[in-house]
Amino acid sequence: ESQWLRNFRMRKGTFLELCELLSPALKRQDTWMRAALSIQKRVAIALWKLATPDSYRSVANQFGVGKSTVGVAVMQVARAIVDLLLPKVVTLGDVQVIIDGFAAMGFPNCGGAIDGTHIPILGPEHQGSQYINRKGYFSMVLQALVDHKGRFTNINVGWPGKVHDARVFKNSGLFRRLQQGVYFPDRKITVGDVEMPTVILGDPAYPLMPWLMKPYTGALDTEKELFNYRLSKCRMVVECAFGRLKGRWRSLLTRSDLSPKNIPIVIAACCVLHNLCEIKGETFMLGWEFEANRLAADYAQPDTRAIRRSQRDALRIREALKARFQTEQGNQ
């Protein structure tokens, strides 16, 4: 079992279940590969490649197949994961459970935490400069909303690294649905004398909205510091989720040599696999994070500029929450 976990990031039982779930899509691919490679072998090759920063050649040698076979297997499996499992596995689930989870961590009526992370890539031939981020390397942005347990509930992937997190967000379907008030079930609470909808939490790079709370910036008094502390404690779950995603699927830490149109499929597939492992309670081994940090050191995450625009309603909600946290603090 520990060998399986090390190589494929999941136990054998979960691996076989995954093969079963993907078989409708992988069976259909009646190509030259089908006779040569079973579904299990194709899934094994793909997971091995995603879990390690190994080259195609070394993975090919490991499985006794040709180098191009590895590339085909990775894309077939990633596409099957995205087509069959993404809509079922990366989904909101029971909102009340999520709200209760964040409330237990100290933030009321919260439905998720949002952030973006940069995945390094090789410079594309076309419009390459669009992909250079503020740290000076080529990347693609993954925006993710996570629940209280660090599972992805909504992802958006494929924007070039030069684009600011706030712009990625504003152009996403998630933003539109939150703006229209249809993403979460309508569940308002009253804080002080202000009505507050279900909110998500972001860092200073995001716009302050009635449904998106972010930290105070600038000069902070103790009340603002307490608010920021509560918010960042809950927002940590998204940073931890990215850490675990990349710790398991380390290919996301080194520059992907796939074409720009295939990279988003592979990143999305890794997000699905992250959720599956978390749902199944797969062990996250101690050494993985250390290894991930070592690889990640080559590609530091760009720091995002704070956005100052905000809406009057949003400011009132944030002020009311700040006052409530202060009162709660006083009553402890």
pLDDT in tens, the chain (332 residues): 889 999 999 999 999 999 999 999 998 665 555 566 899 999 999 999 999 989 999 999 999 999 999 999 999 999 999 999 999 999 999 999 999 999 999 999 999 999 999 999 998 888 889 999 999 999 999 999 999 999 999 999 999 999 999 999 999 999 999 999 999 999 999 999 999 999 999 999 999 999 999 999 999 999 999 999 999 999 999 999 999 999 999 999 998 878 889 999 999 999 999 999 999 999 999 899 888 999 899 999 998 777 777 788 999 999 999 999 999 988 87
The whole model's pTM is what? 0.95
CA distances, 235 to each of 110, 201, 217 (Å): 10, 6, 16
- How many Å apart are CA 51 and CA 48, to the nearest integer? 5
Cα–Cα distance between 273 and 10 in angstroms, integer?
9
Q: What are the φ and ψ backbone dihedral angles of 111, each rounded to 5 degrees?
A: -105, 5
What pLDDT shows up at residue 30? 55
How, if at all, do strands 212-213 and 199-201 pair?
parallel
CA 312, chain centre distance (Å): 30
Percent helix, strand, coil in the chain, to 5, is 55, 15, 30
Residue 305: what pLDDT?
76
